[in-house]
Structure 1
Amino acid sequence: MNAVVQPSMQSRIQGALMGAFIGDALALGPHWYYDLDEMRRDYGAWVDGYTAPKAGRYHGGLPAGASSQSGYILALTLRSLVEKGGYDEADFCRRMDEELFARMDGTPNSGPGGYTNQSIREGWAGRYAGQPWGQVARLADNTDAVERIIAIAARYALDANQIADHVSSNTVLLQRDTTVAAMTTAYGIVLGALMSGASLDGALSGGLVTAARGGQLRFQGSTPVDGKPAVAGQFPTPEPLLMASTAARMAANPQIRVEPASSIAQVHGLQCAAYFVLPSSYYLAARFQGDFEQAVLHAVNGGGQNQSRAVLTGALSGAIGGMEAIPQRFLEGLQQRDEYLALTQKLAQQALAVRA
């Protein structure tokens, strides 16, 4: 029997990033259907590829395989990281001002990529009113930050503390709820661990929590002050790190069956908040492990905020299986594929250069 060849770390890093772009584009058409019967009338019993949005719906006018605004911001973050050689907050903020906010008017359907989420609209409003970065964050509880920090986690995949510092700092630029910041930072740390070769299983979170409590991982620390972590990357409790293994144990338990797997979205909730989207994403990635296609398509076919669910599941699944796990048809149908492949390859090389 031939031994299974594990993907290289470069493949895992690039797989996580491309998996996020692919998940975003796969959900572009059937995004935000809370009536699942309506979604199936419009797109059939099972969405299995790229589709264009119906007229009058979110992201209307974009072609099949295009990126939503979430994908646009992920690419913006990725370009900043590649061109600056690491996370440069001033450069990220400048790009948000010049490349995104300058193309918006504050309404939900303005700006590149179709629909603009709440935290981004609130950030635009603050900047439009003349507020400096550092004062524009509001209390939106969606996963906007989780989606863009995938690139930051990839850049610092070899250093969980760098992930914790930079992810938490980037998150609170636009979302100041500390629970959302903690969940976002925990996702980045988990994703980094997977890109480094860890398994998404019932043991993963325990090791991370032990490291946090022992001070080796900058996660649990000082009590937040004025709605922000007193020290970047540190939160009052390490419990957000437990979500990944909780979902993995659920997926592995034969006495707990969710069929079809896409129905996990209804178990945890179809809505946009991070505490609905993240548990479902961890579950699908853990249940299907390296089967990228099944994990991401179940995320899409669950309905509701399936775009965020597919982005986060795609990143986790791509980190587990690497580029080898991503079907060629998903790469071929992705708009801006060549640009994304080039950027993700460069970022992976930068991430790995520190251990050379």
Structure 2
Amino acid sequence: MAPTLEQRAQGALIGAYVGDALALGPHWYYDLNALRRDYGDWIDGYTAPRPDRYHAGLQAGQSGQAGFILDLLTESLDSCGGYDEADFCRRLDEDFFPLLDGTPMNGPGGYTSQSIRETWRLRVGAGLPWGRVAGLADTTEAAERILALAVRYAHQPSELARHCATNTALTQRDTTVMAMTVAYGCVLGSLVRGEPLDAATSDRLMERVRNGDLPFHSVTSAGEDTPPPGPEAPRTAGQFPSPDALLTVSGILRATQDPGIHIEPAWKASLVYGMPCAVYHQFPAAYYLAGRFQGDFESAVLHAVNGGGQNQARAMLTGALCGALGGIQAIPSRFLEPLEHGAQRLERAGRLARQAAA
């Protein structure tokens, strides 16, 4: 039986939390020999960080800082009945920034990302207002929280894209990063709506671009090889310059189905697409793993973790996609029961799903 909207929404959110927690211990090993030495040939569950590594002092099943920030946004959505930027920023100001000191190895989760450090310095250090504190970090930091907006506004694609864009702009102002982040939110929202993840995903999203629902500039026609008729439509304010971030996903999905393309074992997607933190490494790997293991949440997320590098973001983004595809029932109970705040997060995810349905 296909998962319901509520199950898909819960699966997306809890899948992200599970991915974040699974990579807590083996986070940021760029030397795969060192990763295997410390955690064995295959990581298959929650692990605690070593005392000399990132997130030292946290326990297996706990969240990194991305999970902490995702909690702030989901709590805001739950409390306000939708996205209220002022409320979310207040929570950052009151509940998060006082826990930081501007250095990397500090704050909830034991590590603070570059984009958050840049925003903290401008907001707290320089006293600048929200809207003037975003930096140029090219990481997936914003994507790791806007996935909640993709769930909440899955049935309102235009609002989904708008809120994902403005929320990303709070901490990241590079337009390529913003376009790829919003595109990921659009893909995730489509899965929460119940659409498949397949070679036609980009076509369905591009149809929404042509209808004006998504803020991307379309330079192609509906026909695959047919030039667009007439003069090119002018760009409008707030539009991303090209639709390429929306087109990426289906190209990668075709690769998962092409018998001439082999990435074996699948965790080596991290080597093919890149192990670092930047969006242009992370999103393709997440799309690949989610597409390859469509009905197998566990395999997709564990291959994301075992690929090393920035595996926490890779696993979190993959977990959200696969959780949306299979619903909460696709996530093994052995991942749910030890997850920090698992019951509260699951209940909150259900309420956000009901908001989305309404």
Relative to the length of structure 2, the TM-score reads 0.93
What does residue 171 of structure 1 align with?
A: 168
**Shift in Å, 1:220:** 2.6
Deviations 1:282-338 (A, max 9, x none): 000000002100000000000000000000000000000001100000001101111
1:244 matched residue in structure 2: 249
> Which of 329, 341, 345 is residue 346 of structure 2 equivalent to?
341
Question: Matches of 1:173 and 1:327 in 2, distance apart?
Answer: 35
Q: Following the alignment from structure 2 to structure 1, what is the Cα–Cα distance between the partners of residues 5 and 341?
A: 24
Q: Is residue 2:304 matched to residue 1:299?
A: yes
Per-residue CA deviation, residues 186-238 of structure 1 (Å, 9 max, x unaligned), is 000110000111111101101212321342433338xxxxxxx9745x31111
Say whether the 8 Å CA contact 1:209–1:239 is kept in structure 2.
Answer: no
| % same residue | 58
Query: Contact 1:213 / 1:238 at 8 angstroms: preserved in 2?
Result: no
Alignment pair present for 1:51 and 2:47 = yes
Q: Secondary structure at the match of 1:244?
A: helix
The aligned residue for residue 120 of structure 1 is 116
Give the equivalent residue in structure 2 for 1:99: 95
Q: Does the 8 Å CA contact 2:157/2:213 hold for their aligned counterparts?
A: no
Q: Secondary structure at the match of 2:110?
A: coil
Counterparts of 1:65 and 1:190, CA distance in 2: 27
Matches for 1:13-52 after TM superposition, within 5 Å? 13-52=9-48
Report if aligned partners of 1:164, 1:219 keep a CA contact under 8 Å in 2: no
With normalisation by structure 1, the TM-score equals 0.94
Per-residue CA deviations over 1:254-288 (Å, capped at 9, x if unaligned) read 11010000000000100000000000000000000
Confirm or deny that 1:144 pairs with 2:141: yes
Q: In structure 2, what is the equivalent of residue 288 of structure 1? A: 293
Is 1:188 the counterpart of 2:193 in the alignment? Answer: no
Residue 336 of structure 1 aligns with an amino acid whose one-letter code is: H
CA distance in 1, matches of 2:213, 2:277: 33
Q: Which amino acid aligns with 1:188?
A: G
TM-aligned CA deviation for residue 111 of structure 1:
1.1
1:131 aligns with 2:136: no
The CA distance in 2 between the partners of 1:9 and 1:126, in whole Å, is 39
Q: Secondary structure at the match of 1:312?
A: helix
Pairwise CA distance, 1:173: 0.8
Unaligned runs of 5+ in 2: 219-234
In the alignment, the residues of structure 2 paired with residue 68 and residue 111 of structure 1 have an alpha-carbon distance, to the nearest angstrom, of 10
Q: Distance in 2 between matches of 1:66 and 1:246?
A: 35
Give the match's secondary structure for 2:275.
coil
Matches within 5 A, 1:269-280: 269-280=274-285
In structure 2, distance between residues paired with 1:337 and 1:263:
30
CA distance in 2, matches of 1:230, 1:125: 32
Supply the RMSD in Å over aligned alpha carbons: 1.4
- The equivalent position to 1:310 in structure 2, one of 305, 311, 315, is 315
Query: Are the structure 2 counterparts of residues 107 and 216 from structure 1 closer, same or farther at C-alpha, using a change threshold of 3 Å?
Result: closer
Residue 332 of structure 2 corresponds to which residue in structure 1? 327
The answer as to whether partners of 2:295 and 2:325 remain within 8 angstroms in 1 is: yes
2:195 maps to 1:198: yes
Q: 1:9, CA displacement in angstroms?
A: 1.1
Measured in 1, the distance between the counterparts of 2:23 and 2:186 equals: 25
Q: Matches of 2:101 and 2:236 in 1, distance apart?
A: 34
Q: What is the distance in 2 between the residues matched to 1:56 and 1:80?
A: 35
Hey, which bits of structure 1, 4+ residues long, moved more than 2 A? 213-221, 229-232
Q: Does 1:90 find its partner at 2:86?
A: yes
Kindly indicate whether residue 217 of structure 2 is the aligned counterpart of residue 220 of structure 1: yes
Size of the aligned set, in residue pairs, is 342
* Unaligned 5+ runs, structure 1: 222-228
Of structures 1 and 2, the one with the larger relative CO (CA 8 A, separation 6+) is 2
Deviation sequence 1:39-93 (CA, Å, 0-9, x none): 0100000000000000121100000000000000011110001100101011111
What residue number does 1:260 align with?
265
Corresponding residue SS for 2:142: helix
Q: Is the partner of 1:136 in helix, strand or coil?
A: coil
Are the counterparts in 2 of residues 268 and 280 from structure 1 also a CA contact under 8 Å?
Answer: yes
Q: Distance in 2 between matches of 1:85 and 1:220?
A: 31
- Shift of residue 349 of structure 1? 1.2
